[in-house]
Amino acid sequence: MNIGDQINVLRTEGERIAVAGGELALNAIVPTCPGWVVKDLLTHIGTVHRWAAAIVGGALPHDPRKLDLQRIVGPLPHDDLLVDWVREGLIRLAATLEGAPDDLQCWQVFPSQSSRRFWVRRQAHETTIHRVDAEQARGDEISPVGPGFAADGIDELLLGFHGRPSSRVRALRPSVLHIHATDLPPGRGDWYIHPTDTGPLVTFSEVETPHCVIEGPVELLYLALWNRLPFDDLSVHGDPALLHLWRNYSAVRWVDPVDV
Q: What is the pLDDT of residues 228-237, one digit of tens each?
A: 999 998 999 9
Q: Give the pLDDT confidence of 55-100 residue by residue, as tens digits.
A: 999 999 999 887 788 889 999 999 999 999 999 999 999 999 999 9
Residue 260 predicted with pLDDT over 80: no
Contacts 24+ apart (CB under 8 A), 231-237: 236/212, 237/212, 237/213
What confidence tens digit (pLDDT) does each residue in 165-187 have? 999 999 999 999 999 999 999 88
pTM of this structure = 0.95
Q: Give me the percent of the chain exceeding a pLDDT of 90.
A: 90
Q: Which amino acid is at 181?
A: A
Render the burial of 125-148: b for 16+ CB within 10 Å, e for the rest.
Answer: bbbbbbbbbbbbbeeeeeeebebe
Environment class of residue 70 by beta-carbon count within 10 Å: exposed (0-12), middle (13-18) or buried (19+)? exposed
Strands 212-216 and 177-181: parallel
Least confident of 57-71, 143-157, 193-207: 57-71
Q: Give the pLDDT score at 140.
A: 87
Q: Which helix (H) or strand (E) holds 73?
A: helix 69-73
User: For the domain 147-250, what is the CATH code?
Assistant: 3.30.1050.10
End-to-end CA distance of the chain: 26
pLDDT for 127 beyond 80:
yes
- Indicate the average pLDDT of the chain: 95
Strand arrangement of the beta sheet that strand 177-181 belongs to: 199-203, 190-196, 177-181, 212-216, 235-238
- Asked whether 187 and 151 are in contact (CB, 8 A), the reply is no
In the chain, what are the domain boundaries? Answer: 3-138, 147-250
For 3-138, the fitting CATH number among 3.40.47.10, 3.40.50.300, 1.20.120.450, 3.40.50.2000 is 1.20.120.450
Residues 203-212 have pLDDT tens digits of 999 999 999 9
Q: How far apart are CA 194 and CA 123, in angstroms?
A: 27
What's the pLDDT at 254?
77
